[in-house]
């Protein structure tokens, strides 16, 4: 049934399903002398980075275009998380090179997480690209571009211990004008054995808390109603005020951003089960505008597999965390990421993953089968020994169980009224709005009254599928 991992390129679905692997909607602006075209893949961090890149390029006189044929510079912000993500980028590069053949002089650049691993191959062996720039080197883009204009292929994949782009105001592209991402930290210091991120994005570092609050304030002043604070492991956010030496934790930061305005909703992603504290849970409970939604990836329901994955918690610890969340915030929704068919996973261990989905009552999960990544701990230490058909079958079982659990959760919402933030028209009909509850559930409801995109409205749920809710405006 599943030829491809259904969520392969789509791992940022938790943030905004519209954005995955798609061209960011861009503005065409004739005021700029030159044009760039950018496609982004992978997680929300990458989409957020593309907005930083757009800001850097704007200062150099580059405006963005939606049409790659018109571009002087074609960029692809890449992801390495699974093999399929890399394959997709390679296909895109061959298409960009066709454009270049028609219009010599067009520059092609690879940004993001594939940069480090494939720099030599892409630049020298295959001569597919003119510049390769890693996630911490975007300030160097103008220099690399002007070098490439003179015929020098350029590369900068240096990772930094300090770079957070704190002073760069991202140029919001493709935004619905209602919600925006704010990057609060970069890199990751965890060493989950399956994961390539610590290698592609380097050491963890937290961004100046005041620059984060200022960005949130600025977004609210522009009319945005929701911000998502982004990091690979937001709960380990820690920033020391150089003046006072005071330390700002993630719980402190949440509260600082929540205080920008009660009408600004705060979301965050991703929480690592080992690091989420009671203080964070109390902040979510105590501030109405901090959304009652936690993405708490379990990866596997079995303690032996979790140990091999180097997740540093076991099943018992995870179950206790989930219980604690529901105890402190009874109306909280929890979602997860799951990997099926990790090295040596048995059928019984797989069944424990099915169990943890039911026990945790996830409202949604992002589900993948294991894809070995060169250089990771797992690639070096463990054999990728689960046959592909078995991985796919286990994945389909995980999807089936999650779908039933999501359906049951949505059925329980029928008759309840939720405060919904209107994100725009529903995809299917301009007569309906689409919005989200605090719990990150999508609600579709007929347009009545004078409501518009960006308004909050109370909606009573009348029906639900596994994917969304339908309702009517209650007031
Ligand atoms: N920092 C986040 C996850 C970032 S990657 C966290 O720790 O939760 C997003 C998801 O991709 C992971 O949670 C994991 O489920 C999946 N993933 C990462 N590496 C993978 C691999 N090698 N094969 C399959 N899925 C993987
Ligand atoms: Fe990867 Fe683990 Fe870091 Fe998440 S916490 S980015 S899964 S190493
Ligand atoms: Fe992919 Fe890099 Fe994000 S590997 S998932 S784009 S951090």
Question: What confidence tens digit (pLDDT) does each residue in 283-335 have?
Answer: 999 999 999 999 999 999 999 999 999 999 999 999 999 999 999 999 999 99
Rounded CA gap, 86 and 115, in Å?
11
Expressed in angstroms and rounded, the spacing between residue 233 Cα and the centre of ligand 2 is: 7
Locate all alpha helices (DSSP H) within 413-470, ordered by sequence: none
What's the pLDDT at 16?
A: 36
Closest to 415 (Cα-Cα) out of 459, 374, 452: 459
pLDDT in tens, 76-111: 999 999 999 888 888 999 999 999 999 999 999 999
Query: Residue ranges per domain, the chain?
Result: 21-156, 179-409, 417-473
Contacts with 177 (C-beta within 8 Å, 6 or more apart), sequence order: 223, 224, 453, 454
**Å from CA of 11 to ligand 1 middle:** 8
7 pLDDT more than 80: no
In angstroms, how far is the first alpha carbon of the chain from the final one?
A: 44
Q: Which ligand is nearest to the CA of 336?
A: 1
- Is the beta carbon of 269 within 6 A of some atom in ligand 2? no
Which distant-in-sequence residues (6+ apart) come within 8 Å of 112 by Cβ? 40, 41, 42, 46, 49, 76, 77, 78, 79, 134, 135, 200
Atom number in ligand 3 closest to CA 114: 4
Confidence of residue 358 (pLDDT cuts 50, 70, 90): very high
Cβ atoms of 142 and 166 closer than 8 Å:
no
pLDDT over 90 (residue 4)? no
- The DSSP bridge pattern shows strands 442-446 and 432-436 to be antiparallel
Half-sphere exposure of 184 (CA within 13 A, CB side): 36
Rounded distance from Cα 366 to ligand 1 centre (Å): 9
Integer Cα distance of 70 and 79 in angstroms:
25
Strand ordering across the sheet containing 73-78: 62-64, 34-40, 73-78, 107-112, 131-133, 154-156
Q: Note the pLDDT of residue 346.
A: 98
What is the Å distance from ligand 2's center to 339 Cα?
A: 13
Secondary structure (3-state) at 345 = coil
Nearest bound ligand to the CA of residue 312: 2
- Which of 197, 270, 368 should be mutated for ligand 1, with most atoms under 8 A from CB? 368
- Reported as half-sphere exposure (CB side, CA atoms, 13 A), residue 5 has a value of 25
85 touches 42 (CB < 8 A): yes
Residue 131 phi, psi dihedral angles, 5° rounding: -135, 150
| Ligand 1 neighbour 299 (Cβ under 6 A) | yes
The token duo for 62 is 């580059």
Q: What letter does residue 290 receive in the DSSP assignment?
A: B
CA of 272 to the centre of ligand 2 (A): 8
CATH fit for domain 21-156, picks 3.40.50.2300, 3.40.50.12160, 3.20.190.10, 3.30.70.2860 = 3.40.50.12160
pLDDT value at position 151? 87
Question: Using CA atoms, how far apart are residues 233 and 297, in angstroms rounded to an integer?
Answer: 11
Helix (H, G, I), strand (E, B), or coil: what is residue 67?
Answer: coil
The answer to whether residue 22 scores a pLDDT higher than 80 is no
pLDDT surpasses 90 at 452: yes
Give the bridge partners for 470, in sequence order. Answer: 444, 463
Tell me if residue 272 falls in helix, strand or coil: coil
The rounded Cα 449 to chain-centroid distance in angstroms is 34
Give yes or no for a contact between 392 and 369, defined as CB atoms under 8 angstroms apart.
yes
Q: Which residues of 261-281 are buried (b: 16+ CB within 10 A; e: fewer)?
A: eeebbbbbbbbbbebbeeebb
Q: Which two structure tokens, joined as six digits, stand for 72?
A: 């002087």
What is the rounded average pLDDT of the residues 179-195? 96
* SS3 category, 243: coil
The packing angle between helices 315-328 and 347-360, to 10°, is 10
Atom of ligand 1 nearest to the CA of 369: 24
**CA distances, 427 to each of 149, 226, 232, 363 (Å):** 42, 20, 30, 21
What is the pLDDT, as a whole number, of residue 25?
A: 54
Structure tokens at 223: 């009319």
**Which one, of 53, 101, 107, lies nearest residue 77 by Cα?**
53
Percentage of the chain beyond pLDDT 70 is 93
- Nearest ligand 2 atom, CA 232: 6
Q: Is 329 in the pocket of ligand 1 (CB under 6 A)?
A: no
Strand partners for 226 = 179, 265
In 153-287, beta strands by DSSP E: 154-156, 179-183, 185-186, 205-206, 226-230, 238-240, 247-249, 265-269
Nearest-ligand number for the alpha carbon of 79:
3
What is the rounded distance in angstroms from the CA atom of residue 351 to the CA atom of residue 315?
Answer: 13
- Structure tokens, 189: 């210091």
* Gap from CA of 191 to ligand 2 centroid (Å): 7
| Ligand closest to the CA atom of residue 270 | 1
Indicate whether residue 368 lines ligand 1 (CB < 6 A): yes
Q: Which of 192, 234, 297, 362 to mutate to test the pocket of ligand 1 (most atoms within 8 A of CB)?
A: 297
CATH topology (fold) of 179-409: pyruvate-formate lyase- activating enzyme (3.80.30)
Residue pair 335/363 in contact (Cβ under 8 Å)? The answer is yes
Res 86: pLDDT: 86
> Is residue 72 a contact partner of residue 34, using CB atoms and an 8 Å limit?
yes
Can you give the pLDDT at residue 356? 98
What is the homologous superfamily of the domain 417-473 according to CATH?
Nucleic acid-binding proteins (2.40.50.140)
3-state secondary structure of 211: helix
Cα of 133 vs centre of ligand 3, distance in Å, is 14
Residue 125 reports pLDDT greater than 80: no
pLDDT of 447 over the 70 cut = yes
3-state secondary structure at position 175:
coil
DSSP letter for 178, please. Answer: S
């Amino acid at each position: 049934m599943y030829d491809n991992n259904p969520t392969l390129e789509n791992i940022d679905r938790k943030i905004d399903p519209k954005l995955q692997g798609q061209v960011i909607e861009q503005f065409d602006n004739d005021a700029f002398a030159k044009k760039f075209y950018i496609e982004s893949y992978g997680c929300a961090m990458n989409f957020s980075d593309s907005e930083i890149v757009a800001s850097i390029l704007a200062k150099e006189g580059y405006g963005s275009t939606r049409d790659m044929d018109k571009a002087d510079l074609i960029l692809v912000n890449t992801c390495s998380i699974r093999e399929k993500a890399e394959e997709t980028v390679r296909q895109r590069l061959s298409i960009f090179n066709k454009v270049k053949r028609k219009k010599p002089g067009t520059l092609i650049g690879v940004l993001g997480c594939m940069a480090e691993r494939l720099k030599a191959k892409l630049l020298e062996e295959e001569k597919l690209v003119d510049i390769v720039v890693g996630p911490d080197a975007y300030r160097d883009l103008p220099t690399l571009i002007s070098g490439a204009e003179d015929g020098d292929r350029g590369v900068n994949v240096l990772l930094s211990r300090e770079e957070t782009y704190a002073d760069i105001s991202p140029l919001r592209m493709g935004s619905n004008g209602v919600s925006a991402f704010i990057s609060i930290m970069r890199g990751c210091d965890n060493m989950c054995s399956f994961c390539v991120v610590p290698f592609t994005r380097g050491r963890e570092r937290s961004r100046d808390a005041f620059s984060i609050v200022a960005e949130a304030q600025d977004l609210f002043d522009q009319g945005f109603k929701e911000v998502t604070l982004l990091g690979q492991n937001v709960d380990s956010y820690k920033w020391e005020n150089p003046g006072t030496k005071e330390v700002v934790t993630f719980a402190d930061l949440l509260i600082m951003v929540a205080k920008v305005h009660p009408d600004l909703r705060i979301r965050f992603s991703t929480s690592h089960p080992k690091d989420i504290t009671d203080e964070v849970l109390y902040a979510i409970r105590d501030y109405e505008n901090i959304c009652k939604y936690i993405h708490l990836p379990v990866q596997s329901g079995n303690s032996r597999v979790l140990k091999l994955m180097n997740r540093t918690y076991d099943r018992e610890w995870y179950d206790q965390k989930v219980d604690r969340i529901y105890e402190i915030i009874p109306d909280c929704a929890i979602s997860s990421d799951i990997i099926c068919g990790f090295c040596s996973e048995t059928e019984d261990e797989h069944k424990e993953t099915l169990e943890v989905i039911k026990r945790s009552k996830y409202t949604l999960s992002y589900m993948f089968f294991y894809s070995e990544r060169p250089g990771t701990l797992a690639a070096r230490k463990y054999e990728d020994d689960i046959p592909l058909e078995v991985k796919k079958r286990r994945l389909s079982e995980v999807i089936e169980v999650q779908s039933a659990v999501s359906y049951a959760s949505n059925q329980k919402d029928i008759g309840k009224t939720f405060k919904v933030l209107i994100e725009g028209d529903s995809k299917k009909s301009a007569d309906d709005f689409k919005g989200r509850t605090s719990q990150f559930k999508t609600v579709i409801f007929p347009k009545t009254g004078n409501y518009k995109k960006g308004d909050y409205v109370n909606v009573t749920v009348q029906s639900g599928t596994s994917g969304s809710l339908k309702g009517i405006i209650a007031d």
